[in-house]
Every structure is written in C-alpha cells, then in structure tokens.
Structure 1
Amino acid sequence: MKLASTDLHYRMRIITSLSEIEAFQWDALIAAQAHANPFLSHAFLHALHESGSAAAKSGWQPCFITLWDGENLAAALPLYEKSHSYGEYVFDWAWAEAYQRYGHAYYPKLLSAIPFTPVTGSRLLALDQGAQIALINALLELQSTADFSSSHLLFMPEDQAKLMADAGYLLRQGIQFHWENRDYLCFEDFLNSLDKKKRKNIRAERKKVSEAGITFLHLSATDMTEDDWRFFKRCYDQTYADHHSTPYLNLDFFMRISQAMPENIHLIVAVSDGEKIAASLLIHDKQTVYGRYWGCIKHIPCLHFETAYYQAIEFCIREKIQVFEGGAQGEHKMARGFLPTKTWSAHHLSHPSFSDAVAQFLERETGGVELYMNELNERTPYK
C-alpha cells in the first residue's frame, strides 16, 4: 500500500556501489539522522562491499535506493538483494521453507539492514517524513515490478517501524540487552548498584581471571599494527570454528575500517605470560559502545565475560560513554548489568496467503515477546 506523498520532485537512482556517491554526501545525510551510528557510515558500508564480505558473490547484492534533489543526496535506503538469510539476526528461515514447500521462490528477497550487524539505526535515511515516505513507496514499487518475494527492514527505530506499518508492513519485535552508564565513577561504583548476589558473582568471575595471571591491553586503531589485526582475526575465526560455522568478515574488511574510521575502533587484548590469548573488538562513537566481535585461542574460565563485557564496561565508564550494546540476544547478560530493550523490524510479503499466515504468526509471537519482556523486567539485577 503506497503512502500519500507530496514530495514528487526527487530523482530516484538505484546504486550498486557506494563509490557512486561521494563520502561527504553520504555521511552528511547520516549525520542528520536521529538514529545514526558508525555502521551507517560510508566507510563501514563501503569496506563491507569492497572487501567482498557483503557483495554479490557472497549473496549480498547492493541495490541502494537513493533520492536526489538536483545534485544533492536527499534520502537513501541501504538495500540488498539477498539469495539467502545468513547474517541477518532476525530469522525468517521458516518462512522460506514454507514458500518452498508450496512451490514458491522466497529468494531473491530485498533486505534493508547493516550486514552481520544487529544494531538499531535509521533505515529510512531522510531529512523529513515526506522523503521517508518517498523511499517506502520506491521500495514497494521495486518489490512489485522486479518480482521479489518480500522486503524486510531490520533493527529499525520504533518511529520508522510504525511508519512502515502505515504502508502495510508487518512489524516484528525482538529483545536485546544493553548496559547503561548511570554516571558511574568506576567499576566498583557500578558493582555497588547491583543486588548482592549479582555483585558477588561478578567479583568471583573477575577474580578467576585475575588469579590466572591475565592482563589486558587496550588499543585504538592508531595503536594497532597489522600483527594485532591478524591476531584479532585469528580469534574471530576461532569463534566461528567453535560453532562449526564460517566467518562472515575477512581481514581486508578489518584493515579497511582501521584506515577509514580509526576513531571508532577499540581493541581489548587478553595476555597470559606475555602471550596474546583473546581479543574483543569494539566499535564506538561518543554515546555508545557496540560489542561486536570476540574470540580466544586459549580457554580460561570467565575470560569471555572479562574480555567482552567487564573490560568494555570499564572503557565506557572511563570515556563517559552512556550505552553499551553487547550484541544479539543473550539473557545471561542480565546477570552482568544489562537490561532488556525492544528491537523492531518490518516485513512485506508479496503473496497474500503467506502474508496472512505470517501476520498470524507474528501476532502470537508478539504476545510472547511482551510476556517475556515483562518477566525480564521483574528480574532486574539492580538494587
């Protein structure tokens, strides 16, 4: 269902490479968004594409919708033609199987998301609601005329999700766990805000790591050498190997973001007897730290919690950063001071019968998410 729009002066253009847009134009549009983050930057997205991590050969064909007012970039929708559902973190495998079971093709589909990155941020990149509506209408037209089975916008802010619902999209809720800096002066200050049991458990976990003789290095991108990146990549790959999976990101990608956006990168390295044994990579801006990638080559009890959570929390406190997003899912994070927060996605399926079936499924799922959210909020780790 197209939304009424009076903004008809835009020229629409589908781009398949961010090299078609000047970085300053793209980043100026991002800077104007209420829900911006480093993953929306020209540097991050271009590195994904140019490294081949998210490109046509890996099943992520960029087809960004852009709207132009003369020579000025007025609005954009990061968009991919997908031939699979890997790397999304909002799972629709059952929908794809149902399509296949009844002889319909679910792929290719259209997906607006940051590849491999379950972080909420603007998807309708525009300066006003009129341009947002123009993007939605362009997306619906592309889905219809190019015969895609569906279009999906993942990890949207709630206000943009509600606008998608007005256009006939089905909304889906999820839950992540985020830590909030309540103006803590030090880690002990944070611990003192927790209930007694949680505080005791965290101290015990940190003690195990300390007694194992583990120390930590904190490195910015400008401090890091190529050897540091190679060690981190080894840790990152090991995490996927431990889960019998294949890593999404290659070394070229990490080297590219190191050069293009060093101010947003922080690496935490665990050291044992002079040997590096684990690493956690954070992406951050002045307001938020995003715990993205972790791995180890030597397993030590509680090392994951210390490297990926507690050291990162200390970094937030030291730098006066307000929020730490610890990644997808993970109810165990509540015991470490993280609290539940809702995520939103929007979905439009072209086939009416399947759309009705998914709508019924989402109605049941949403009820479950609400109950789960209420249950979690009753189990706060704080005093």
Structure 2
Amino acid sequence: MSQFNHSWFNQITDIDTTIWQRFFHDTPFTDHAFLAALEHSGCVSKNTGWQPMHLAIYQQKHIVALLPGYIKYHSYGEYVFDWAWAEAYQQHGLDYYPKWLSAVPFTPIEGQRLSINHPNPDSVYNYLTQVLTNTAHDRQWSGWHINFCHQQQAESLKSDAVMLRQGVQFQWFNQAYSHFDDFLDSLTARKRKSIKKERAKITQQHITIEWREGNTISAQDMQLFSHFYSQTYIKRSGHTGYLNNAFFQRLRDTMPTQLVLMLAKQADEVIAATLSFKDKQCLYGRYWGANDEIDSLHFELCYYQGIEYCIANKLKQFHSGAQGEHKISRGFQPVYTYSVHHIQQPDFAAAINDFIARERQHMALYKAQCDTLLPFKQQ
C-alpha cells in the first residue's frame, strides 16, 4: 500500500492560503491570491475551458505536495503549443480534449508547478505520475501535461511514459548596471545607436512615462489599464482578451506590493500602459495596452522601461514573456524552458515522442543561432 494519498480541489479557496503559500514562493503567479483572482473573476472556469482541478498529495493527514491544475477543453492560453497533436487526434476520430494541465493560466513564466515538502522527493514524483496517469485513464483524458516547470522537475518526472519538451524564451539579465547608460555601454556601437534612436522618438513625440506601484495604483488607474488591454486584444484578434477588469481590480486589492503599473502620457492624457509583477529578484512584464499604434512606444514601455526599473531597483532579471526574436537586439538573451507530457494513446505517444526528439535538436540549433545575434560587445 502506498504511503501517500491525494485529493482534488475544484477551487483554490478550498486550500488554506497559509498552507498553499508555505509551498509556493518563487514567483507571484503561483501565489494563492493570483490563482484566486483568476477564479473569482471568472477568467478560469469550465465555461472558459480552464476548469480548476488542483491536486494535493498527503502522507497520512499532512500535505507533502501541491500542484495547481486545470481540466482543459482547448489549448488557448498555454504557450506550449500542442495544436498539431490535437489536430492529429481529430483526423483519426479521437478526442484530444479534455486533458489535464498543471500551469498558470495565460502565463508563460517558469516556476514551481509541483511543490514538494518531503525528505524523499522521488517517491512523491513516482506517486504523482501514477495518480495523474490513472486519473487520465479513469476520466478519459487524452493525457496530462505540466508546463513551464523548472528543469530539475522536468528531468525528475521524465520517464519512458513522460516526455520532456524544451522551448526558448528571451530574458534580460542585470550585470550590476548602475544606470541605463551602463547597459548601453555593454552593447556594440550599432546596437547602442539603434536603441538611442528608438528612445529619442518617445521624447520627440512629447511622451512621458510614469511608474506607479503598490497602493499608489488607484482603482481608476486599473480600470483604464484594463480598457487598454481589452482594446489592444480586440484590434489584434477580435476578442477582448483572456482577462477582465474584475481580475485586474482583485490583483490591486490582494497583491498591491507585487504590482508595477507604467503609464505613458501625452499632453497629460494617458495613452498606453503596462502592468508588471515583481519579487525580490525579478521583474515580470506581463500585460500591455494602448489606444493607438505609436512609433516605438511598445518597445519603450514593454522593454526599455522594464530594464530601467530593474537597474533602479537592483533586480537581477527582467522576464518579458514568451517568444519575440526582436528582443535579442535589445539585450534579451535566449534561455530554455521546460514542460513534460504524458499521452495515453500508445501510438500517438510514440509519434509525439519522436516529434519532441526532433524538436529538441531544432531548439538547440535555434538557441545557438540566437546567441550569435546578441548585441553585446565581444569580451
């Protein structure tokens, strides 16, 4: 008989906040408050295709591991793309959805997914794999997935039945810069000139940037930001985005010390904004919105202001989200991301495993090519 048992929870508030926070403390996005804001605002629910189904593992009556989790009815908002897998299932008359996913909805930030407090973590990993695989069989999920986990967790979960997948993102690292000009001095002359030219366009258009943090962010500020966010989504994709004003307002109420709102003003009118998160080590640039397209404003608000903020506050890293080769010339370096995947159907599992092996070679080549494009001076 296993030394462990487990329970599923259909809402994050069924798990005590103090207990949850004891396990999760590496990024703001696995905070109880962040996940609760997603649920309370209706951004995640069965209706949106993100049905909460969190997992707790116990030894006797004590929780020894926790995972945020969701039953997924589509693959939107995940950023580890499996659309081709779903299409292949459909072409063979099989259902790819529902599946179970451990991730932070709409958030491509690496962090703790399975958090363990046990002297023998491998025994917990083994039990977790059994639970997820057996539950997938019983509930007829196509499989289970854990996205944007730490490399160590991905490697600990990898087995003949669990596939490890790599991706690439771009992040900025603070080399103990004292000022933005110190960062510019680390770049080649051509790249330095290009960034200065971009930033000069903001000044020439009489745009100023204001930072607001914590309790200085008003409900009106957040309402305005939410409007920008939804308008930008409408212009780009025809829908209002994954998140709503109720979500953003709840963040302001429950996580104010972890928020950084940057407002772009022209003639005393706010025309664009970004909402970021912070912890003691890192700034996480997450959401952006604007009334209109303005030359170079996206680069200024989403990248250069974040770099300025990290330097001013001595943060070590700036994580600006998924994808974006255009970040390379602005000093963002390629880093690997990790996810793990279990597919129930044996033939599809074999085909996907072969795809992932070939993809891993491509990612290694892609990262190496990106490294050659970095704008830093040769040491």
Confirm or deny a common fold (TM above 0.5): yes
1:3 aligned residue: none
Amino acid at match of 1:339: Q
Identity of aligned residues (%): 41
1:303 aligned residue: 297
Q: How far did residue 299 of structure 1 move? A: 2.2
Q: How far did residue 134 of structure 1 move? A: 2.5
Amino acid at match of 1:147: Q
2:91 aligned residue: 101
- Tell whether 2:233 aligns with 1:240: yes
Give per-residue Cα distances to partners, 1:138-170, cap 9 Å, x unaligned: 212211222211111111111111122126211
Amino acid at match of 1:192: D
1:77 aligned residue: 67
1:47 aligned residue: 37
- How far, CA to CA, are the matches of 1:183 and 1:176 in structure 2? 22
2:251 aligned residue: 257
Q: How far did residue 135 of structure 1 move? A: 2.3
Structure 1 portions without partners, runs of 5+: 1-5
Amino acid at match of 1:153: I
Correspondence 1:1-383 to 2 at 5 A: 8-31=2-25, 36-128=26-118, 129=121, 130-166=123-159, 168-246=161-239, 247-383=241-377
- How far, CA to CA, are the matches of 1:28 and 1:245 in structure 2? 40
8 Å Cα contact 1:11-1:67 kept in structure 2: yes
8 Å Cα contact 1:221-1:265 kept in structure 2: yes
- How far, CA to CA, are the matches of 1:56 and 1:343 in structure 2? 28
Amino acid at match of 2:24: I
Q: How far did residue 133 of structure 1 move? A: 3.1
8 Å Cα contact 1:13-1:66 kept in structure 2: yes
Structure 2 portions without partners, runs of 5+: none
Give per-residue Cα distances to partners, 1:260-312, cap 9 Å, x unaligned: 11111000000000100000111110101111001110322100011111111
Give per-residue Cα distances to partners, 1:161-204, cap 9 Å, x unaligned: 11221262112111100000000001011110111111110000
Amino acid at match of 2:166: Q
Amino acid at match of 1:307: L
Question: 3-state DSSP class of the match of 1:358?
Answer: helix
8 Å Cα contact 2:167-2:363 kept in structure 1: yes
Q: How far did residue 71 of structure 1 move? A: 4.7
Moved over 4 A (4+): none
Amino acid at match of 1:169: V
Change in Cα spacing, 1:365 to 1:167, as seen in structure 2 (3 Å) is closer
Amino acid at match of 1:52: G
Give per-residue Cα distances to partners, 1:92-123, cap 9 Å, x unaligned: 11111111111101110111110000000111
- How far, CA to CA, are the matches of 1:281 and 1:43 in structure 2? 17
Q: How far did residue 242 of structure 1 move? A: 2.1
- How far, CA to CA, are the matches of 2:219 and 2:93 in structure 1? 49
Q: TM-score normalized by structure 2?
A: 0.96
8 Å Cα contact 2:329-2:373 kept in structure 1: no
8 Å Cα contact 1:75-1:135 kept in structure 2: no
Question: 3-state DSSP class of the match of 1:238?
Answer: helix
Question: 3-state DSSP class of the match of 1:243?
Answer: helix
Q: How far did residue 248 of structure 1 move? A: 0.2
- How far, CA to CA, are the matches of 2:114 and 2:237 in structure 1? 35
Q: How far did residue 380 of structure 1 move? A: 1.9
Q: How far did residue 11 of structure 1 move? A: 3.1
8 Å Cα contact 1:65-1:138 kept in structure 2: no
CA RMSD for the aligned pairs? Answer: 1.3
Q: How far did residue 206 of structure 1 move? A: 0.4
8 Å Cα contact 1:65-1:139 kept in structure 2: no
8 Å Cα contact 1:85-1:92 kept in structure 2: yes
Farther-moved stretch of structure 1 (138-147 vs 102-111): 138-147
- How far, CA to CA, are the matches of 2:210 and 2:125 in structure 1? 44
Change in Cα spacing, 1:263 to 1:167, as seen in structure 2 (3 Å) is farther
- How far, CA to CA, are the matches of 2:104 and 2:124 in structure 1? 21
Farther-moved stretch of structure 1 (55-64 vs 65-74): 65-74
Question: 3-state DSSP class of the match of 2:47?
Answer: helix
Q: TM-score normalized by structure 1?
A: 0.95
